[in-house]
Structure 1
Amino acid sequence: MTGWTADRIPDQRGRVAVVTGANSGLGLVTAAELASHGAHVVLAVRDTPAGEKAARRIGGDVEVRELDLASLASVRAFAATLADDHPAIDMLVNNAGVVLLGPRRTSADGFELQLATNMLGHFALTGLLLGNLAAAREARVVTLSSITHKNAHLDFDDLMFERGYRAASAYGRSKLATTIFGIELDRRLRAAGAPIVSALAHPGLTRTNLTPRAWEHRGRFGRLIAWAGLLATQPVAQGALPQLRAATDPGVRGGQFFGPAGLWETRGRVTEARLSREAADPAVGTRLWAAAEELTGVRYL
Structure 2
Amino acid sequence: MPSATTHPEFGPHTTALAVAAAFPSVISGKTILITGVNLKGLGYATAEAFASQNAELIILAGRTPAKLQECADALAKEYPNTKTRVLELDLNSQKGARAAASTLNGWTDVPAIDILVNNAGIMNVPTRQLNEDGIERHFATNHVGHFLFTSLIIPKLIAAAQKPGAVKGATRVVNVSSFGANYSPIRFSDINWEKANGTLPLAEQPDYALKADSYNSMGAYGQSKTANVLLSLGLNERLYEKYGILSFAVHPGSIVTELGREVPAEDYKARIESFKKKGMVFKKLGEGASTTLVAATGPEIKGEDGEWEGRGVYLSDCQIHESTKVWYTSWSEGEKLWAKSEELVGEKFAF
Verify: 1:200 aligned to 2:217, yes or no: no
Verify: 1:74 aligned to 2:96, yes or no: yes
Structure 2 residue aligned with 1:265: none
Q: Which residues in structure 2 correspond to 1:1-301 (within 5 Å)?
A: 2-3=9-10, 5-6=18-19, 7-11=21-25, 12-23=27-38, 24-39=40-55, 40-59=57-76, 60-85=82-107, 86-137=110-161, 138-163=170-195, 164-191=214-241, 193-211=242-260, 213-216=261-264, 220-226=266-272, 229=275, 232-254=281-303, 256-260=313-317, 270-274=318-322, 275-301=324-350
Asked if structure 2 preserves the Cα contact closer than 8 Å seen for 1:186 and 1:198, the reply is yes
Shift of 1:53: 0.9
In 1, distance between residues paired with 2:185 and 2:313?
21
- SS of aligned partner of 1:243: helix
Compare relative contact order (CA 8 Å, sep 6+) and give the higher one, 1 or 2.
2
Aligned residues between the structures: 288
Task: Return 222-231 or 239-248, whichever deviates more.
Answer: 222-231
In 1, distance between residues paired with 2:248 and 2:349?
17
TM-score, normalisation: structure 1:
0.89
In 2, distance between residues paired with 1:108 and 1:32?
34
Extract unaligned runs of 5+ from structure 1.
261-269
- For residue 192 of structure 2, what is the amino acid of its counterpart? M
- SS of aligned partner of 2:106: helix
Asked if structure 2 preserves the Cα contact closer than 8 Å seen for 1:199 and 1:253, the reply is no
Shift of 1:188: 2.2
Percent of aligned positions with the same letter in both sequences?
A: 33
Task: Return 41-50 or 230-239, whichever deviates more.
Answer: 230-239
- For residue 215 of structure 1, what is the amino acid of its counterpart? V
In 1, distance between residues paired with 2:24 and 2:129?
41
Deviation digits for residues 28-78 of structure 1, max 9, x if unmatched?
A: 111111122122100001011111111112224111110000111111111
- SS of aligned partner of 2:180: helix
TM-score, normalisation: structure 2:
0.77
In 2, distance between residues paired with 1:9 and 1:228?
38
In 2, distance between residues paired with 1:299 and 1:284?
18
CA 1:288 to 1:9, structure 2 compared with 1: closer, same or farther past 3 Å? Answer: same
- For residue 280 of structure 1, what is the amino acid of its counterpart? T
In 2, distance between residues paired with 1:295 and 1:289?
10
- For residue 95 of structure 2, what is the amino acid of its counterpart? A
CA 1:198 to 1:183, structure 2 compared with 1: closer, same or farther past 3 Å? Answer: same
Structure 2 residue aligned with 1:264: none
Shift of 1:185: 1.5
- SS of aligned partner of 1:152: coil
Deviation digits for residues 239-274 of structure 1, max 9, x if unmatched?
A: 1111111112222315532211xxxxxxxxx21113
Asked if structure 2 preserves the Cα contact closer than 8 Å seen for 1:127 and 1:299, the reply is no
In 1, distance between residues paired with 2:36 and 2:302?
25
Asked if structure 1 preserves the Cα contact closer than 8 Å seen for 2:183 and 2:218, the reply is no
Deviation digits for residues 2-35 of structure 1, max 9, x if unmatched?
A: 4263221323333111000011411111111112
In 2, distance between residues paired with 1:251 and 1:16?
21
Tell me the C-alpha RMSD between the 2 structures: 2.0
